[in-house]
Amino acid sequence: MDNQKKVLVTGATRGMGKEISKVLAEKGYHVILGARSLQDGQSIVKELESKGLSVTTVQLDVTDINSVQSAAQEINALDILINNAGVALEASSPSKLDVTKVKNEFDVNVFGVINVTSAILPLLQKEKEAKIINMSSMMGSLNSVLDKDSIVYDVSVAGYQSSKAALNMYSIQLSKELEKEGYDISVDLVDPGMVATEFGGLDPETAKKMGARSIDEGIKRVIELVEQDRKDKNITFTNNDGVVPW
């Protein structure tokens, strides 16, 4: 149908990205699965189409500018961009960080978001209103990691945390730019919390034993933001419990 809203989800072939895609398709959105492996994307499309859902896929490696630009050319219209792709590779103490791994984290978590957003933005700017939702983390909140009462105070994964802090700043500045230029495009950051997926090299069962929440709980806030009628376009940083401090 012509008025069906179109959503692009990066990192859509596993974990939260796959579940976000499924839930939004079930809610009537046309979902474009951004897949680093086109074969994996096509497999999920086949699975979801068998349930009568409206989905397509594009090959999309957020760290490869040629892949990103090709994907943007394949997509002729878009209402919502969900920058979900992310990695956590380095858990050493700050004084012993592997810079190569940290660079790889920034390549996906920061530069990948910038690559995709820059390429897709012209499509969003054509719409009457549009949304950008970036997957962040409370671990990138400067206030939270300095708060001794915070659940992330004792967590130290400096590479990942730095990448999410950088993503937050980029998102703030993007939101301010779009508002200044008069575009009706909201930019929001979501902290999903620790979720029982394979993210960070854990298996879901191990993650559950460590207190991770279900994927349904992890994607809840993203789904709410997609469906929310946003009158106020000021940037937000939220999770299921409310506002996350900057």
Q: List, by residue number, the catalytic residues.
A: 160, 164
Two tokens, residue 147: 């708060």
The answer to whether the CB of 198 falls within 8 A of the CB of 87 is no
Q: Which of 85, 108, 82 is nearest to 14 (CA)?
A: 85
The answer to whether the CB of 168 falls within 8 A of the CB of 145 is no
SS3 183: coil
Backbone phi, psi, residue 197, to 5°: -130, -170
**In angstroms, rounded to a whole number, what is the distance separating the alpha carbons of residues 220 and 157?**
25
The answer to whether the CB of 5 falls within 8 A of the CB of 123 is no
CA distances for 50 relative to 1, 46, 47, 100, 154, angstroms: 19, 6, 5, 42, 45
